[in-house]
Structure 1
């Protein structure tokens, strides 16, 4: 008896290849949903397609960034994934860095080969004290080290946007966090529209916009596709992709981490939805993907990484990421290439 095998149905990938790789268009919502439902047997082909898209529209270079928290903990907002909220019992307490500590962190980041240093504060939005400290800190960093400075300080007014531009902040991070339809399950103390408005002001100011979100927070596959589509509509310069790392004491602390196959499908889907955007590995990849998955993601659409630790969770040793990039023959983007 002659054995037969069922041919693989590659319709989804054929469609994605035609739309994104051949025609140069972003994948739409329905196609993103289809990609996120790709069976495991097609995952290697999907990652290869996403990698081809990354190389065609973004080149082989990888942008490396370090981050530091200027003000940690005590945030008044109730983002259910975040241990920095003052409303939860998570063991993170309010701490401020002084300017010399900030400069040292920037110098350490530059020593890894990173081209960008992001200053983050756990606040709803910056007050006068924080804006003053930012001005002093950015000035001190620029005098001490050759690195671009980014910021993530919550929701902004137009005056604050203008002040950050005047300081020389070249990129601002403000994530949508979740799809509009799932947002109230994640945050109740501010609205999706407030986040969107800050992102719009940043884009109009001339600063680069860094805007992404988290996946694995209990959202459906369709809501994951919705987030990718809404980010594509916003057209940020960079999208950091975070995977939930459940933190004790938060409302999402008991959720199971996303499986590695779903995480890799998500990376590929976001690349196909945002073919020309910097897609950055951010928080949670160590838990969700591990060493092997981290490699697969770099070969599946990722073209930027945060090195070192995150705001309240540990990351990989920067030397491990840099060694992996070297092994994969992925050059680090030079500082002047980010200007």
Structure 2
């Protein structure tokens, strides 16, 4: 298995200037050089009074290095619930007293979901399964689903099926999977507090195999799982060292019956600072609003995030929680004069 490298960013000196935003403006906006771990931490520690200034800078960075287009994606759960892993945030674990029970979606329903997603203008449709890793039955279902979707819908297909073997990576690449999602979830140092049934390094190994096979890498995580600001900065640096094509940013929506069910929702100002900080750590990456943004940020916060470094959204519902109606996000993008990324720009 490929070993995760020690992140050199963690050993760098703190910024010479006391004004981290001035440093970031010159370093990231002007030169396109990502913030170091220590610099990200300085951003996360900014006083709330400078939040607007920070968000404006992150938006400028996004516009300069990514452009105005917003990538829209829909997701569907092919296999829900009954997962053997103990991810403490997830109600799909079979180890917790959560309400989600194991279920499969049939191929016609999968195709219909892809059609509805495409109607929103989305270019990406992600097939997700709640598993440690796919078995032969799941791989067969995915292959059949991809073939059926391709016969009827013009959309790119992504997958999120847990940890993979090299053989499974090769199979998905042969199926034409465009992008593979496998989240590191949190900083390497915090991971044992979030998951105990597998390691951060196992996830890293899958991501490296995916990249080596030529698929795009989608890797992010969840903020607000009890991590410190230092660990949040560490996580941003972990992701920067991986160089993913896309980073989905989720915010913990505490699920009843899970070990994290009683954690408090992240304050909106803290969440928005994290969005901007991750943009400054990943200036050229697709940074996607994902789960938990509704409960954490609300409608106004969603607008601030899109004007604070975000350049991609998941529309509709998530795997076990309700999202904003797709129309609400699309109307917001129209109001902000943010064009939806076209399919031929995504290939």
TM-score category, normalised to shorter length:
over 0.9
What CA RMSD, in Å, does the superposition of the two structures yield over aligned residues? 0.8
What SS does structure 2 have at the residue aligned with 1:180? Answer: coil
Residue 292 of structure 1 is matched in structure 2 by 300
Aligned with 2:291: secondary structure?
coil
Q: Which secondary structure does the structure 2 equivalent of 1:175 belong to?
A: coil
Q: Any idea what SS the aligned residue of 2:87 has?
A: coil
* Partner SS, residue 289 of structure 1: helix
**Distance (whole Å) between structure 2 residues aligned to residue 320 and residue 214 of structure 1:** 23
SS of 1:222 mapped into structure 2: helix
For 1:39 and 1:142, the matched residues in 2 are separated by 49
For 1:275 and 1:292, the matched residues in 2 are separated by 24
Residue 344 of structure 2 corresponds to which residue in structure 1? 336
Of 233, 245, 256, 1:237 maps to 245
The equivalent of 2:176 in structure 1 is: 168
Q: Which SS does the other structure have where 1:269 is aligned? A: helix
How far did residue 10 of structure 1 move? 7.4
Please state whether the residue corresponding to 1:323 is helix, strand or coil.
helix
Aligned length: 331
Among 323, 328, 331, the residue aligned to 1:320: 328
TM-score by length of 2: 0.95
Q: Take 2:245 and 2:171, find their aligned partners in 1: how far apart are those partners? A: 20
Q: How far 1:23 moved relative to its partner?
A: 1.8
2:282 is aligned with 1:274: yes
Counterpart in 2 of 1:301? 309
Name stretches of at least 5 consecutive residues in structure 1 with no aligned partner.
Answer: 1-8
Matches of 2:236 and 2:66, distance apart in 1: 18
Q: State yes or no: 1:67 paired with 2:75.
A: yes
Distance 1:24 1:152 in 2: 30
- 2: distance between equivalents of 1:317 and 1:251? 29
Match of 1:172, SS?
strand
**Aligned residue among 175, 182, 195 for 1:187:** 195
Among 38, 59, 67, the alignment partner of 1:30 is 38
Q: Distance in 1 between matches of 2:219 and 2:52?
A: 27
Structure 2 counterpart SS, 1:181: coil
Q: Deviation above 2 Å: which 4+ runs of structure 1?
A: none
Matches within 5 A, 1:1-339: 11-339=19-347
What SS does the aligned partner of 1:239 have? strand
Matches of 2:257 and 2:41 in 1, distance apart? 32
TM-score normalised according to structure 1 size: 0.97
